[in-house]
Amino acid sequence: MSRRWFFWGAVLGALGVALGAFGAHGLRAWLPLQKMTIFETAVRYHMFHALAMLAVAAAAAQFPARAARLNTAGGLFAAGIVLFSGSLYLWALTDVSLFPFITPVGGLALVAGWLAAAAAFWGRDHTP
């Protein structure tokens, strides 16, 4: 499982860098400031959570007894990137606002991912 989270964290990190560069160099000239701010927020959360997925991969490899909860965290981070950042990218680029429905669900997935990561290390490790 740790390989999967490392793979997806790296892929999503690369995508985040590409989207950030696209925003900084390709969109700034024609996107209004308010929409540019939304796009930048999407990139920021996208990148933070791609890095969090890499941390999940490293932790799962280091602490295999805690891998199940860490896998939950990785899945929630991935879902959060798609739902939260994805809906903000869509809103910034097309004026299609899914905010009332999708964006908060994505944000909750990101928060839940952090809580799942914390829960993975709550209590003692009972393996020999």
Query: HEC states along the chain?
Result: CHHHHHHHHHHHHHHHHHHHHHHHHHHCCCCCHHHHHHHHHHHHHHHHHHHHHHHHHHHHHHCHHHHHHHHHHHHHHHHHHHHHHHHHHHHHHHCCCCCCCHHHHHHHHHHHHHHHHHHHCCCCCCCC
Q: Hey, what amino acid is at 69?
A: R
Six-digit token string for 94:
């097309």
Which pTM value belongs to this model?
0.90
The closest alpha carbon to 121, from 77, 63, 78, belongs to: 63
Report the length, in residues, of the chain: 128
pLDDT tier at 16 (50, 70, 90 boundaries)? very high
How far apart, in whole angstroms, are the C-alpha atoms of residue 103 and residue 37? 15
High-pLDDT (> 70) share of the chain, %: 95
Tens of pLDDT, residue by residue over 29-77, are 889 999 999 999 999 999 999 999 999 999 999 999 999 899 999 999 9
Write down the pLDDT at residue 97: 76
Please give the average per-residue pLDDT across 16-34, as a whole number: 92
Q: Looking at residue 128, what is its pLDDT? A: 42
